[in-house]
Amino acid sequence: SQTIHQWPATLVQPVGSPLSLECTVEGTSNPNLYWYRQAAGRGLQLLFYSVGIGQISSEVPQNLSASRPQDRQFILSSKKLLLSDSGFYLCAGNRGAHEQYFGPGTRLTVT
Amino acid sequence: AQSVTQPDIHITVSEGASLELRCNYSYGATPYLFWYVQSPGQGLQLLLKYFSGDTLVQGIKGFEAEFKRSQSSFNLRKPSVHWSDAAEYFCAVGGRDDKIIFGKGTRLHILP
């Protein structure tokens, strides 16, 4: 079975600082990978998804970017954080099935 | 457009009572349907899924859900809740493009 790892678990960053959140997958190869942001009372918003190395699709225009440098690595980045980037970020993956499996998440607070 | 509606933001039930969480979806074709559970500060865990076949699906932790095409619903049920079931529950719909649309969630509170 596949396991999704995320780090860090929590992060406090000042406005204008850069961001890098990492997601790695264990137990499968060539997964589809997804970044979501979760805000209180608003469910999950799909930010990016990737079907392979270097292949990134953006779902919403925003201050964030994503990269997939390796098959089982998915990175969420920003050059300059905004207050509105605060939230709970979840990485998910699937491989050969329609359901997605989620990592433990990263709580980002921009101050 | 695909969408998922969970009409109840919060639900409170007594421990040992039965539970039903409502979910309605909008999707142009036969959907893939999911229920996920999230404990505070944690990721989402898949409870159950419906792809085809029997419209009553069994999941983990004693949960079940029934797909009703005529009502565009996929309600989650449990006959007797435990204090450990307190969490947030998300209904979701997906299709062949491997993207999933999530509802906004229902937070379940359990009274002792």
Read off the pLDDT of residues B51-68 as tens digits, 9 standing for 90 and up: 988 899 999 999 999 999
Question: How many Å lie between the alpha carbon of A20 and the closest alpha carbon of chain B?
Answer: 19
Phi, psi of B41 (to 5 degrees): 75, 10
Contact by Cβ (8 Å): B37, B44: yes
d(CA A90, CA B17): 32
Ranges of beta strands (E only) in A27-98 are 32-38, 44-52, 55-58, 65-70, 73-78, 87-94
B104 → closest Cβ in A41, A49, A98 = A41
Reading the block at residue B83, the tokens are: 């204090």
pLDDT, residue A40, reads 75
| Helix/strand/coil for B42 | coil
> What digits encode the pLDDT tens for the residues A52-90?
999 999 988 688 999 999 999 999 999 999 999 999 999
Q: Average pLDDT in the A9-34 region?
A: 95
Residue among B39, B48, B18 nearest B86 (CA): B39
Chain A neighbors of B9, CB-CB under 8 A:
41
d(CA B110, CA B112): 6
d(CA B2, CA B27): 5
The shares of helix, strand and coil residues in chain A, as percent rounded to the nearest 5, are: 5, 60, 40
pLDDT > 80? residue B97: no
Which has more confidence, B1 or A16? Answer: A16
Q: How many CB atoms lie within 10 A of CB B10?
A: 10
pLDDT, residue A1, reads 75
Contact by Cβ (8 Å): A49, A23: no
Contact by Cβ (8 Å): A28, A83: no
A99 → closest Cβ in B34, B102, B105 = B34
Query: B27 and chain A: CB distance < 8 Å anywhere?
Result: no
Task: Give A38's pLDDT tier (boundaries 50, 70, 90).
Answer: very high
For chain A, the average pLDDT equals: 93
Task: Give A95's pLDDT tier (boundaries 50, 70, 90).
Answer: confident
Which has more confidence, B99 or A79? Answer: A79
In a mutational test of the A interface, the residue from B5, B60, B90, B99 whose CB has the highest number of chain A CBs within 10 Å is B99
Question: How many Å lie between the alpha carbon of B105 and the closest alpha carbon of chain A?
Answer: 6
pLDDT, residue B28, reads 78
Query: B7 and chain A: CB distance < 8 Å anywhere?
Result: no
Chain B neighbors of A6, CB-CB under 8 A:
43
pLDDT > 80? residue A97: no
> What digits encode the pLDDT tens for the residues B8-54?
999 999 999 999 999 999 987 778 999 999 998 899 999 999 998 88
Interface contact A43-B104, CB threshold 8 A: yes
pLDDT, residue B88, reads 96
**What length is written for chain B?**
112
pLDDT, residue B17, reads 98
